[in-house]
Amino acid sequence: MSDMDIDWPSPGQASDLPSDDGYATDSGVSSMDEQMSTYTRSMTSSIVNYPLEYGRRYHAYRAGVYAFPNDDPELDRMDMAHGLMFKSIGYKLYLAPLVKENLHRILDIGTGTGIWSVEMGDRFPNTEIIGVDLSAVQPPWVPHNVKFEIDDVESRWVGNRMFDYIFVRYMLVSIQDWPKLVQNIYEHLNPGGWVEFQDMDGLYYSDDGTYTAQYTTHTWNQDFVQACESIGRTARPGPQLEGWVNDAGFQNVVHKRFKAPIGPWPKDPHFKDVGMHNLCQLLDGLEGFTLRLFCGVLGRTEEDVLGMLEGVREELKRGLFHAMFDHHVVYGQKPLEGQQL
């Protein structure tokens, strides 16, 4: 069954999100813990069946390049983030107008656990799909047409392999030179091939003014964005993607924005589900997002950082404000030969 055969709920893009008047903001943390536990258990095994262990583990290849862990709790969260984007953009793996017969080789940059590559491998069994990442954390059993490689896409691209579609998702805080990456992608696409970026703007906001500077979450988020900027790896690539793609020479460029509420406060059932999903993955990843950046970059003590994160968790679970961030999807096509400038 194709995406066109299913009556998916509309993801929505630009209008304000009304809050659910029946959503209790003072029901307490324990009530939200129960809701989150129930929600997480109801998710498919492809998202949450990874084993967990204590401690944090970081990348060994190009050590220090990536600020987040790559241990089992983080891999679990990454698969939840895959599901979040899938829901957010309309229950789709991609938005570019791909033609199956034209897809011979796909590159998945920043493949993470490889979940997107595996699902695409099932959907396009005659297409070679290559996923690249800094760590070999992908599953050993994958479709016959899928393989994974360890590589740093900010290093020189070795070889002359060309691709028909290059997919880049959730690379915020990972890339130092975005225009260079986009140019490398352009040079390794066949004429007529497509690139697609699915990323976010990591700065939180609210439509109704409930999310203000009085909250610890606001302080944490501002500090997070500042820390990322100070190391030259922006947490806000989403709004800039369209410009980078246009500047590289792509045509037929499309930019779509999707709101991602944090918590089940929206009235709309689709956004309520997206919001709970988002809250679960955010709280699961909060320490991993924060510790290395705040201690190593901002110079704070681990005790102070963990204390701040307790305040963030408390506020988010209690639903004290209606915060969200934006997902951005930008795709474009490399001109056919004879059309290139």
Write the DSSP assignment of 256-325 as a string of letters.
EEEEEESSS-BSSHHHHHHHHHHHHHHHHHHHHHHHHHHHHTS---HHHHHHHHHHHHHHHHHT-S--EE
Q: How confident is the model at residue 69, as a pLDDT?
A: 62
With respect to residue 340, please indicate whether it lies within any of the assigned structural domains.
no
With respect to residue 9, please indicate whether it lies within any of the assigned structural domains.
no
Instruction: Average the pLDDT over each of 6-10, 91-95, 158-162, 198-202 and give the range with the smallest value.
Output: 6-10
For the segment 21-45, the average pLDDT, to the nearest whole number, is 58
Dist. CA 293–CA 228, nearest whole Å: 8
Q: How confident is the model at residue 246, as a pLDDT?
A: 98
With respect to residue 320, please indicate whether it lies within any of the assigned structural domains.
yes
**For the purposes of burial, counting CB atoms within 10 Å of the CB of 248, is it exposed (0-12), middle (13-18) or buried (19 or more)?**
buried
Q: How confident is the model at residue 118, as a pLDDT?
A: 95
With respect to residue 14, please indicate whether it lies within any of the assigned structural domains.
no
Q: Is the pLDDT of residue 274 over 80?
A: yes
With respect to residue 240, please indicate whether it lies within any of the assigned structural domains.
yes
With respect to residue 5, please indicate whether it lies within any of the assigned structural domains.
no
Q: Is the pLDDT of residue 50 over 50?
A: no
The residues near 63 (Cβ < 8 Å, ≥ 6 apart) are none
- Average per-residue pLDDT in the chain? 85
Give me the number of domains the chain comprises: 1
Q: How confident is the model at residue 245, as a pLDDT?
A: 99
List, for residues 144-155, the tens digit of each pLDDT value: 999 998 888 888
With respect to residue 142, please indicate whether it lies within any of the assigned structural domains.
yes
Which domain covers residue 225, as residue numbers? Answer: 21-333
Q: Is the pLDDT of residue 1 over 50?
A: no
Single pTM value for the model:
0.83
Q: How confident is the model at residue 292, as a pLDDT?
A: 87
With respect to residue 339, please indicate whether it lies within any of the assigned structural domains.
no
State the CATH number of the domain containing residue 39.
3.40.50.150
Q: How confident is the model at residue 235, as a pLDDT?
A: 97
